[in-house]
Amino acid sequence: MIKVGVAGYGVIGQRLADGVAAQKDMELVGVADVAPTLSVRALKEKGMPYDLYNSLPDNQKLFDEAGIPISGTLEDLVQRVDIMLDASPGGIGAKNKAIYEKYNKKAIFQGGESNSVADVFFHGYANYEKGVGHQFLKLTSCNTTGLIRAVDCLDREVGIEKVAITIIRRVADPGDYHRGLTNALQVDKAPSHQALDLMTIMPHVDATGILVHTPVTHGHIITVLATPKKDISKEQLIELFSKHPRIRVVKLADGFQGNASLFRYARDLGNPRGDMYEIALFEESIVKSGKDIMFAINIPQEAVVIPENMDAIRAAMEMQTDRLEGVAETNKYLGLGKWIQK
């Protein structure tokens, strides 16, 4: 049983903890955070299902005043696990790396850290084998994670020469106020980092892209224009995407009009926090221009990277050294692909 700890109990950290707890071949030893945040207070009110460790001992008084039990420090947690999932704010994970190195522990970092923090820039489906046995892996961002799922799915079937993407990006997570109240769209300088990151993971694909910030909080939409090496029909595309356990093909005609429809559907399914691990691909968005393919996908930014983090644990700890075996175990425990028509 692989023992896992989570550093940072925020938007991603909460979901990482739940993801590990769902894996029958892993044990969640505990989570660590720096203060009694709302997420930590909710953990207490739920009866402390996970042991909590203090990442900043100088703040112990704050936890005591809030009546939140502490099981030790971050260093204590690191010593009790085989591998850490670091979901700390960008830049903090790089500092935590010194602790992981001190105790010779493995760690997985999130998309907010610089690529230099890790040995391998990792994606479960696209380059699983490259992460096998390495000490430090770094995940791609939420947008890049979902984008690579779709491009990799196509690439393995027909080969992809190049892609051009437009990202319609939510401005902040639900509950965040740090971006202020806005009524504007903002265009980033091209190419977007997601296109560059895709080429880092899949260097044989030529990618470029534009990113537009939008004043919404639930999900990103990405349009993809892909040039395949072999022609493929729209019907074949739908069949291919429909078989992928982390891609849910949805129809506008069924009421899936966009990000809000998908968030509502996740809540109607009873998913905790309204989370979805899978990206959604809008069937009616699939069009062809000659051999080129265009389609649109929805990226549920709060939870989409959780499966790939579980894959990263499996690769780093050599639980499964084969790509398909590793992702299949993750999918099984997270219930991914259960909507696929048999």
Query: Is residue 153 flagged as an active site residue?
Result: no
What phi-psi label fits residue 81: left (phi over 0), alpha (psi between -120 and 50 degrees) or beta? beta
pTM, to two decimals = 0.94
What Cα–Cα distance (Å) separates residue 334 from each residue in 191, 271, 307, 310?
A: 34, 11, 8, 10
Question: Model confidence over 299-315: pLDDT tens digits?
Answer: 998 899 999 999 999 99
The CATH architecture one would assign to domain 142-299 is 2-Layer Sandwich (3.30)
CB 166 within 8 A of CB 173: no
- The whole-number pLDDT of residue 71 equals 97
CB 129 within 8 A of CB 323: yes
Which CATH number is associated with domain 2-139+305-334?
3.40.50.720
Whether 179 shows a pLDDT value over 70: the answer reads no
What Cα–Cα distance (Å) separates residue 330 from each residue in 125, 208, 245, 310, 327?
A: 11, 30, 10, 6, 5
- The whole-number pLDDT of residue 213 equals 87
CB 102 within 8 A of CB 109: no
Taking the domains of the chain in order of start, what are their residue ranges? 2-139+305-334, 142-299
Considering the candidates 142, 153, 280, 312, report the single residue annotated as catalytic. 142
Whether the link from the prior residue into 191 is cis, omega within 30° of 0, is: yes
Distance CA 276, CA 31 (A): 22
Residue 341: exposure state from Cβ atoms within 10 A (0-12, 13-18, ≥19): exposed
Q: Integer distance in angstroms from the first to the last C-alpha of the chain?
A: 32
Residue 58, annotated as binding a ligand: no
Whether 177 shows a pLDDT value over 70: the answer reads no
DSSP string, 99-131: HHHHTT-EEEE-TTS-GGGSSEEE-HHHHHHHH
Within 10 angstroms of residue 196's Cβ, the number of other Cβ atoms is 13
**25 band by pLDDT with thresholds 50, 70 and 90:** very high
Question: Model confidence over 32-46: pLDDT tens digits?
Answer: 999 999 999 999 999
SS3 165: strand
- The whole-number pLDDT of residue 121 equals 95
Radius of gyration over every alpha carbon of the chain, rounded to an integer in angstroms: 20
